[in-house]
Structure 1
Amino acid sequence: MKLEVGDRIPSFTLTDHHGNIFKSDLRLGEKIWVIYFYPKNFTPGCTKEACSFRDHYKEFQRLGAEVIGISSDSVESHQKFSEKYDLPFTFLSDPTEDIRQKFGVKGHLLGIIPGRDTFVIDKDGIVQFKFHNLSSAEHMQKALDKVKELQAE
């Protein structure tokens, strides 16, 4: 499966960095979601990307959007990562990479390194934007631009 713009996201249940259960179906309708899949906590690119979302998090909130980071890292790793870099948004642990696969996020370098994809999901659970690039540099800005565009409509 590979999600594209216009597709509805699959239903999923994961554990957040506080140990709470996150059920997508119970949260749809609340806010626009910016879901970004990334390879691994504490690596240079992933830390840079997370801090970029952190530095613009209040703007996402003001626009009615919630940022969610997903990787295969453990709940404990997410908690440490969030605390060390003062990251105010939700991190979800996908240890089996089932959700990564349901979203169609492919690996890089012969599938060894998990891919880096960002999705903007509207309140109805429909993909409005998808960006795929192993570089962490542009993900936050492209997502923010799309959220602004959605709010202007």
Structure 2
Amino acid sequence: MASGLRVGQQVPDFTLPGGVLAGDAFERGDYTLAEARGRSVVLAFYPGDDTPVCTKQLCSYSSGFETFEGLDAEVWGISPQGVDSHEAFARTHGLRMPLLADEGRGVAKAYGVSAPGIGVRRAIFLVGPDGVLRWKHVALFGATFQSLDTLAEQLSGIKVT
């Protein structure tokens, strides 16, 4: 069962449409988790673009972009909104990580974070360079988020086995 995804397990692969702000351009494309092998990936599931907590969370991660780069990690934001919404969100707040559109919530369901009413629970999955889940946090209510410092601490402990 997806909700039972445990640390130490291989994570489900996926491909989602998305985009990333690069200077003045918003570069759209497909993002496939398996293609990110060799680097750690922070999957940051969030309920919605331009909501107060989500904005604060993703701005925090974007301002810590160099910290993630220094730990050889990428951050992918994932929510049910479409790529057009993600582009507007990224442009408004200068977000520097890819934002992926899980409009049917298939990836959220595979990771056990789809939730009736809110759509997607706020959750973090740290995927090692080998595609194995190394750490996760799934919020019950979603009013807070995992800090950049917490993620950096968890990422610094990831070793390829």
TM-score, normalised with respect to structure 2: 0.86
1:116 aligns with 2:116: no
**Match runs of 1:4-153 below 5 Å:** 4-17=6-19, 18-29=27-38, 31-107=39-115, 111-113=116-118, 114-133=120-139, 134-150=142-158
The whole-number CA distance in structure 1 between the counterparts of 2:156 and 2:123 is 19
The whole-number CA distance in structure 2 between the counterparts of 1:140 and 1:105 is 21
Root-mean-square deviation (CA, aligned residues, Å) is 1.6
Give the deviation of 1:54 after TM superposition. Answer: 1.0
The whole-number CA distance in structure 1 between the counterparts of 2:9 and 2:147 is 20
Q: Is the 8 A contact 2:71 2:152 kept in 1?
A: no
Identity across matched positions, percent: 28
TM-score, normalised with respect to structure 1: 0.90
Return closer, same or farther for 1:137/1:26 CA change in 2, 3 Å cut-off.
closer
Q: Is the 8 A contact 2:78 2:101 kept in 1?
A: yes
**Unpaired segments ≥5 residues, structure 1:** none
Q: Runs of 4 or more off by more than 3 Å in structure 1?
A: none
Give the deviation of 1:11 after TM superposition. Answer: 1.4
Q: Is the 8 A contact 2:48 2:80 kept in 1?
A: yes
Q: Is the 8 A contact 1:119 1:131 kept in 2?
A: yes
Give the deviation of 1:78 after TM superposition. Answer: 0.6
